[in-house]
Structure 1
Amino acid sequence: MDSKGLSLKGSLPLLLLLVSNLLLCKSVASLPVCPSGAANCQVSLRDLFDRAVILSHYIHNLSSEMFNEFDKRYAQGKGFFTKTINSCHTSSLPTPDDKEQAQQTKVQPGVKENEVYSVWSGLPSLQMADEDTRLFAFYNLLHCLRRDSNKIDNYLKLLKCRLIYNNNC
């Protein structure tokens, strides 16, 4: 194996560690929900939605940044994008196709019994000896993270509009 392949192979675990650190720690300071640690404080639904929307937007921006950086450094000229269409493990989850469909969605809180969730099966690809297979697995993972974080960000904003502002946004 040449030195380029060896350094790239060694940098992938480092990249994964960096990605997790960016998502968890980058310029994030946790704020107490209740000031001064008050035991019986209450936070308004509007404040909770404001925090959730800010965090979801931040996470989507970070995931987009990570995807773009990975694409620029490792995926140029490899044709990965054409392979990623509908290849996210979350693609099978029913979600609205556009804003109009999302606005028609009924909001029903609670957990459904016997719900089937998609499982990501890409871990074996990250452990393959073939470099292009590993790079595509990372590319696909970051692509799906960006796609899903965008959906979550948009749906949270729509839900906030619906519940807090009575669809008057």
Structure 2
Amino acid sequence: MNIKGSPWKGSLLLLLVSNLLLCQSVAPLPICPGGAARCQVTLRDLFDRAVVLSHYIHNLSSEMFSEFDKRYTHGRGFITKAINSCHTSSLATPEDKEQAQQINVHPETKENEIYPVWSGLSSLQMADEESRLSAYYNLLHCLRRDSHKIDNYLKLLKCRIIHNNNC
């Protein structure tokens, strides 16, 4: 496949860079020492792992967003379109740490609740480069935003559950 001069060249480059970032310095760590079949992992250890991984994912998503912004947007004003356009924006989330601390740790499950679905794939495949770049910008902006929220909420949950809010 000849991609030289192709409108997909930037998309393929971004995909390659994102895969490289995600695979960079990743080495799986065994949960159980020596591969034991019936080991038990403490809740503290599970939270520690989850917090480390979520922080790593947030750092990678921030790095991908910054790199994309630096290389492709060149003052095109994509941020004004991306501010409230994340498909997860409709999910009720606390605005700050104080609000987050008021959340019940064991919320009731709600049957038949409708969750937002990402419908941006077609935008990523558009022939128009400006539309495609805007879609990638929005995708990376939302990934960075959501990974930051997850990172913060996991740290807050760990503080609440493991340290009895004494952090």
- Normalised by the length of structure 1, the TM-score is 0.91
Paired with 1:166 and 1:21, the residues of 2 have a C-alpha distance of 39
- Shift in Å at residue 126 of structure 1? 1.0
2:83 corresponds to which of 82, 85, 97: 85
CA RMSD of aligned residues (A): 1.9
Show the counterpart of 1:16.
15
- Shift in Å at residue 39 of structure 1? 1.4
Q: Secondary structure at the match of 1:137?
A: helix
Show the counterpart of 1:118.
116
Paired with 2:130 and 2:57, the residues of 1 have a C-alpha distance of 27
Q: Percent identity?
A: 75
Richer in helix (by share) = 1
1:1-169 mapped onto 2 (5 Å cutoff) = 6=5, 9-23=8-22, 25-108=23-106, 112-169=110-167
Structure 2 unaligned regions, length at least 5: none
Paired with 2:42 and 2:24, the residues of 1 have a C-alpha distance of 27
Residues 168 and 28 of structure 1: CA distance in aligned 2, closer, same or farther (over 3 Å): same
The amino acid across from 2:154 in the alignment is: L
- Normalised by the length of structure 2, the TM-score is 0.92
- Shift in Å at residue 119 of structure 1? 1.0
Query: Which runs of structure 1 show a deviation greater than 4 angstroms over 4 or more consecutive aligned residues?
Result: 109-112
Paired with 1:44 and 1:7, the residues of 2 have a C-alpha distance of 52
- Shift in Å at residue 106 of structure 1? 0.2
Paired with 1:92 and 1:20, the residues of 2 have a C-alpha distance of 29
Q: Secondary structure at the match of 1:145?
A: helix
Paired with 1:118 and 1:22, the residues of 2 have a C-alpha distance of 27
Residues 8 and 64 of structure 1: CA distance in aligned 2, closer, same or farther (over 3 Å): farther
Q: Secondary structure at the match of 2:31?
A: coil
The number of residues matched between the two structures is: 165
Structure 1 unaligned regions, length at least 5: none
The amino acid across from 1:74 in the alignment is: Y
